[in-house]
Amino acid sequence: MFKTLTTAFIALHVVSSAAHSTDRQITLEELYEAFGTGNLETVMAFKAKDLGTDFVFYGPRGATLLHSAAQSDQPEIATALIADGLPVDIRTKSKAATPLMIAASHCGTRTGIALLDAGAEVNAIHKSTGGTALIFAAWDNCPEMVSLLLDAGADPMIAARGRKVPNDERGLMAVDFARKHNPALLETRAGKRLVARTEAGEGCDGARVEAGDTTLEILAERVLGEAKRWRNIAKLNGLGPGKGYRLGDCLKLPV
């Protein structure tokens, strides 16, 4: 799924950087190669020279350097970028994908481990597809990533309901995408775990309220990447002066 959306992320970083600065000591070719070879020094030198708010670089498709590290499955680079200030759950410029989603769609298990160890939100929702990292891992046939995400608490009951999901796939869960696109995945140990968890009805088709979700703004930022969408969540769930929410509640999410 995401492979078609992210294959050009690294190259787009390269093209965009030429437009922003003409005096870089690091050539565009060197930066491109650095992600492929895991050249941490080159990537960090590029980041140090980069322009933009708090040194966050967005390519034309909105990818950050951390998304590119996730796509290339470079955990050392990802860890260094996070340590240097990039938020682990930073979204693309359109507030769509997190780095963990990109890692999941490219079977980047090593970087997935690094991102989760750094506190990545395992059940974050993609803005335009409504999918989660688990859905992308199942869609793109990544059994090791499916297993990793389930171990980290990924919710198999969340369904993709976003506007960019084809009508005949809207409302499908991770196991449904696996059945449709990669049935062989369901014969693996990870796939069987996914089936069992789904059949047991373990999870929430929406967002589970966690201890830190003291306001709907915080919850909306955590799962949707946009705090301002809290009003949509409140309306969907009938929340207001006469009805609040409690820890552990399953709240519906807007498309």
Question: Do 99 and 147 share a domain, yes or no?
Answer: no
Residues 5 and 115 grouped into a single domain: yes
In which residue are the tokens 């930022």 written?
221
CA distance 56 to 50: 8
Calpha distance 44→82 (Å, rounded): 11
Q: 116 and 136, same structural domain?
A: no
Please tell me whether residues 14 and 107 are part of one structural domain.
yes
In this prediction, residues 135-155 reach a mean pLDDT of: 97
Q: For position 49, which CATH number holds?
A: 1.25.40.20
CA 99 to chain centre: 5
Answer yes or no: do 32 and 147 share one domain.
no
Residues 1, 117: one domain? yes
| Whether pLDDT at 53 is above 60 | no
For the chain, give the mean pLDDT: 86
Q: State pTM to two decimals.
A: 0.81
When mean pLDDT is compared across 46-60, 108-122, 140-154, 237-251, the lowest value belongs to 46-60
Do 133 and 199 have their domain in common? Answer: yes
Q: Give the whole-angstrom CA distance, residue 110 versus residue 103.
A: 9
Residue, of 23 and 117, whose pLDDT is higher:
117
Domain range enclosing 64: 1-121
Q: What total of structural domains would you count in the chain?
A: 3
Distance of CA 219 to the CA centre of its chain: 16
| One domain for residues 152 and 113 | no
What is the amino acid identity at position 213? D
| pLDDT tens-digit series, residues 197-239 | 999 987 888 888 988 999 999 998 888 888 899 999 999 999 9
Residue where one domain finishes, among candidates 87, 121, 155: 121
At 53, list the tokens: 């708010």
What's the rounded Cα separation, in Å, for the pair 245 and 207? 12
Q: Let me know whether 186 and 230 are in one domain.
A: no
Instruction: Verify that 139 and 186 share a domain, yes or no.
Output: yes
Same domain for 81 and 71: yes
Same domain, 113 and 4: yes
Residues 168, 178: Cα–Cα separation, whole Å:
15
CATH code (residue 164)? 1.25.40
Q: Percent of the chain scored above 70 by pLDDT?
A: 86
At 235 the three-state DSSP class reads: helix
